[in-house]
Chains A and B, each alone.
Chain A
Amino acid sequence: MIIDVIAGVAMVAGAALIALGSIGLLRFPDVLTRMHAATKAATVGVIGTTIAASVEASSLGGALALLVVVALLFLSGPLGMSLLARAAYHDPQTPLSPQTLDFPTDLPVDETTSTTRPAGTSRFLVVWLFIVWIAAFGSIAPNVLVGGVIAAVAITAVTRWLSLRWPRLFVHPIAAWRFVAYFVGQMFVSTWGVIAALWVPRDQVRPAIVAVPVQVSTRNEVALLMNSISFMPGTVALELHDDELFVHVLTTDEPADVLAEIGRLESKIMAAFGPKGQRLRESGSM
């Protein structure tokens, strides 16, 4: 009964967020600002409706599959948006709002620098593929379990054989939970910020591009940082160039505040997923 009420509230709130995102799509001045409203507020909204659906789903498998959908949205949404934002920014035919405050005068077109690292374990991949398999079938019958193990191991073996390199993952569990809690809280705050920006007059919406100096070192951390930034409504990571991350921000009160906020996010990521030496330095400075 109570759970029905929670599901109902999550569903209506999610639908309302999607609708508000659509208002932003119509009202905001250029493609980057529209992106903040439409797809990112909408991603949060879709997570609301999907969680409601998984609560109300009649079968366990269905509920699991819906949670996989939420996980996919977390992974793919910000990545796609970040790529599209970068493309749109470099494209001369895409009009940008003349009010965009441009901090770096000219954004260099990047050449992707890739550093190879020693191949890490792929146990996570096997487990993850197995969960996806079960969710896709929506049952835990023995033949599904056996098939899942075979498929997960086979896919992992193939990626090994193709010598895709998986970067080594460092995880500090307590700090990781702290990061997740901070991230979820921050997500609500910044969603609220984008909704608030919907009602200010159009010529007072002040987007900006800021260059954020980054300190994280491993590829995992950089990926996580860019994904987190792009997932937050109100900020989208454009690209990493030398040690600076270019971020498009909506409604900047003060660029310094945005920098401080991203710095906090970064230090949380470093504490949770940084290699040992960095983690010690981090805890030493706190």
Chain B
Amino acid sequence: MIVATSIAGVLLALAAVGAVTRVVLGPSVADRMVALDSLLFIGVGGLGVYIVATGDTTYVAVLVVAVLTAFISTVIVARYIEAETNR
């Protein structure tokens, strides 16, 4: 199992580098939002890997909150872009 969790961890770390690169490059708000969303997904995946590695479920509540927050933030940014368009 230690091999599997290590492989998964490395893959997620590489994915995070890619996502941060896209946040920096942009070029638009929507691009950055998509990248930030996937950064959060990487975090959720990482927490899953942590639970597999340790069996410790203390942080599951954090996961629920993070997923909900991601949804709300995506919706808010979408509304913001639309408001900018219609102005």
**Which A residues are within 8 Å of any B CB, using their own CB?**
4, 7-8, 11-12, 14-16, 18-19, 21-23, 25-26, 31, 34-35, 38-39, 42-43, 45-46, 49-50, 52-53, 56-59, 61-63, 65-66, 68-69, 72-73, 76-77, 79-81, 83-84, 86-88, 90-95, 109, 136, 138
Give residues 18-44 of B contacting A (CB, 8 Å): 18-19, 21-22, 27-31, 33-35, 37-38, 41-42, 44
Evaluate contact between A45 and B41: CB separation under 8 angstroms: yes
Knowing A23-B18, A46-B45, A69-B63, the reply to whether A15 touches B78 (Cβ < 8 A) is no
CB distance from A247 to the nearest CB of B (A): 17
Instruction: Identify B78's interface contact among A8, A26, A83, CB under 8 A.
Output: A83
Provide the main secondary structure of the chain B interface.
helix
A84 and B37 CA atoms in complex are apart in Å by: 11
Instruction: Identify A39's interface contact among B37, B48, B49, B55, CB under 8 A.
Output: B37
Evaluate contact between A84 and B18: CB separation under 8 angstroms: no
Provide the main secondary structure of the chain A interface.
helix
Evaluate contact between B56 and A21: CB separation under 8 angstroms: no
- A–B complex contacts, Cβ < 8 Å, 22 sampled: A8-B1, A14-B48, A21-B41, A25-B19, A25-B35, A38-B35, A45-B41, A46-B44, A46-B45, A49-B49, A50-B44, A58-B55, A61-B57, A63-B57, A66-B48, A66-B63, A80-B74, A84-B74, A88-B28, A90-B85, A93-B29, A94-B28
Contacts of A73 in B (CB 8 A): 67
Knowing A56-B55, A69-B67, A91-B81, the reply to whether A45 touches B45 (Cβ < 8 A) is yes
Instruction: Identify A19's interface contact among B14, B31, B57, CB under 8 A.
Output: B14
The number of A-B residue pairs with CB atoms under 8 Å apart is: 204
A42 and B12 CA atoms in complex are apart in Å by: 11
In which size bucket is the chain B interface?
A: 35 or more
Contacts of B41 in A (CB 8 A): 18, 21, 39, 42-43, 45-46
The 10 A-B pairs of least Cβ separation, nearest first, read A62-B57, A22-B18, A49-B48, A80-B74, A76-B71, A15-B8, A22-B15, A88-B30, A53-B51, A53-B48
Evaluate contact between A25 and B38: CB separation under 8 angstroms: yes
A22 and B45 CA atoms in complex are apart in Å by: 13
Evaluate contact between B38 and A57: CB separation under 8 angstroms: no
Instruction: Identify B22's interface contact among A16, A34, A83, A93, CB under 8 A.
Output: A34
Instruction: Identify B84's interface contact among A23, A26, A91, A136, CB under 8 A.
Output: A91
CB distance from A82 to the nearest CB of B (A): 9
Give residues 42-79 of B contacting A (CB, 8 Å): 42, 44-45, 47-49, 51-52, 55-57, 60-61, 63-64, 67-68, 70-71, 74-75, 77-79
Evaluate contact between A31 and B11: CB separation under 8 angstroms: no
Knowing A8-B4, A72-B68, the reply to whether A56 touches B28 (Cβ < 8 A) is no
